[in-house]
Structure 1
Amino acid sequence: MVSGQEKTSAPALAMKELTGGYSRRRPVLHGVSMTLHSGELLGLIGLNGAGKSTAIKHILGLMVAHSGEVRVAGATLEENRELYRSSIAYVPEQPSLFPNLTVKEHLHWTALAYGLDREAAEKRAEELATTFRMTEAMKALPDTLSKGMKQKVMLMNALLVRPALLIIDEPFLGLDPLAIRGLVAALDEARDEGTAILLSSHILPALERKANRLVVLHKGRLIAEGTPKEVKAAAGCTGPEATLDDAFEALVEAAEGGRKGE
């Protein structure tokens, strides 16, 4: 298996002018572009229905673009399926685990699927269990775990891989404060090791603190991009007290033609 961390000068993710969705007659995304480099965290922001999940599905290769393209680690899915697939790890909003595998067995299965060195993977799994306070739950089955603990298992499996591109959808939902702190530390470590992270979240203060850059979608179109500071400036929110929440509200209102009645 080709390693997802294979050295390449190409961006971890390059989406170029992508138009796509479930129907060619009514596309969800309209000419969306985004680029994500090794070691960066790109925040994906938008209201419900803005096209965030559709964009993620296109990146994962679950949907075929109407036009434009997606490259992961320099390759499209058609050019190099093995490299493309092995370069991505994905954590969905809703945990999805095998009911008959323990937490430890999930990690072992992931290591086998990605062709990881067994000894190194076992050591890494132990470290992740400590980070997420899951050491005592390693022999537990999913049905005995809370939703937050199931989410931790998903995150542990993704971080075990050390992929070129890590995609996480709403990672903070269901996590307790200590788990959130552990997640942030684990993501910082992954970035230091070269993993590029695409993080979709409604928790904007976290993205304002941690994201290198942001992409803001509204009704399937890109309405702002750049560093948190640049996005706030684009929204006209430049004061010392201005927040990313303020900027997002202003951008959406501008995209919709201003407040009703004004």
Structure 2
Amino acid sequence: MTEPLLRVEIEEAGYEAGKPKIEHVTLHVQSGKLTGLIGPNGAGKSTTLKAILGLLPEVKANVSFTGSSDKYAYVPEHPVFYDTLTLWEHLSLAAAVYGMDEREFERESLLLLEKFRMTEVRNHLPGGFSKGMRQKMMLMIGFLLKPDVYIVDEPFIGLDPRATKDFLGLLEEERLRGAGVLMCTHVLDTAERICDDFILMADGKVAASGTLDEIRRTAGLPGAPLFDCFDVLT
């Protein structure tokens, strides 16, 4: 197996000293692969993402991005935006942070606006957007970078079916390019269809990991859908 683009080994992590929320969480994200991070509410998924991103005060972990550029994009569950900046200005700001060439920024931004059907609102303030439109803005900012690794938290919340299809199409293009994806989601039927492997968490620990067939073997449910395995293991 090739060297993963993202290697995570968390001994423990949490918000207060001596009170870990997650323990012994190990995961790898491979080039061109989509790893699904799943589990019930309170299982530790969001804490795991925060530990990977260095956003927790108490962490004992080794996290390494080993891609050629060490670039990653994080798409949060709850959109974050500036009230006084338009959609285009948000994209421009992200491009400046990423150090993108102006011509490349123009080309990629226009393509993303078209793909997500947001061209007509490029000069509008996101404060007036619907939840789904704000989520699309977050996805566009993430895709703009073309990183080695995408870390995506609950991307389907607020997206209509067409936007979901657009998102999945772009994600497939990026995987074909060689990017790896770690995606936290509650949408198990979609996860079963698109993920290459899974990290299933419960009570702050990894309850099972591997391909769907490996998850099925752990659950003792050969041929079962992911939902049934999820129900047994969590």
TM-score, normalising length: structure 1: 0.84
For the 8 Å contact 1:235–1:250, the answer to whether it is kept is yes
Partner of 1:114: 98
Aligned-partner SS, 2:16: coil
User: How far did 1:230 drift?
Assistant: 1.6
Aligned-partner SS, 2:19: coil
Partner of 1:255: none
Segments of 5+ residues of structure 2 without an aligned counterpart are none
For the 8 Å contact 2:51–2:59, the answer to whether it is kept is no
Cα distance change of structure 1 residues 154 and 147 upon mapping to structure 2, 3 Å threshold: same
User: How far did 1:61 drift?
Assistant: 1.1
User: How far did 1:114 drift?
Assistant: 0.5
| 1:159-178 alignment runs, 5 A limit | 159-178=143-162
In the aligned structure 2, how far is the partner of 1:23 from the partner of 1:168?
Answer: 25
Q: 1:70 aligns with which of 63, 69, 77?
A: 63
Aligned-residue CA RMSD (Å): 1.7
Partner of 1:93: 77
| 1:197-216 alignment runs, 5 A limit | 197-216=181-200
Q: 2:220 aligns with which of 212, 219, 236?
A: 236
- State whether structure 2 residue 17 is matched by structure 1 residue 24: yes
- State whether structure 2 residue 146 is matched by structure 1 residue 153: no
Q: Decide which structure has greater strand share.
A: 2
Partner of 2:5: 12
Partner of 1:126: 110
Instruction: Tell me the alpha carbon deviations over residues 7-32 of structure 1, each in whole angstroms, 9 at most, x when there is no partner.
Output: xx742211124311112322111111
In the aligned structure 1, how far is the partner of 2:4 from the partner of 2:101?
Answer: 26
Aligned partner of 1:127: which letter?
A: L
Structure with bigger RCO (C-alpha 8 Å, 6+ apart): 2
* Percent of aligned positions that are identical: 40
Give structure 1 regions of 4+ aligned residues with deviation exceeding 6 angstroms.
none
Aligned-partner SS, 2:221: coil
In the aligned structure 1, how far is the partner of 2:150 from the partner of 2:175?
Answer: 10
For the 8 Å contact 1:12–1:164, the answer to whether it is kept is yes
For the 8 Å contact 2:37–2:185, the answer to whether it is kept is yes
- State whether structure 2 residue 47 is matched by structure 1 residue 58: no
For the 8 Å contact 2:153–2:183, the answer to whether it is kept is yes
The higher radius of gyration belongs to 1
Aligned partner of 2:90: which letter?
A: H
Segments of 5+ residues of structure 1 without an aligned counterpart are 1-8, 76-82, 253-262
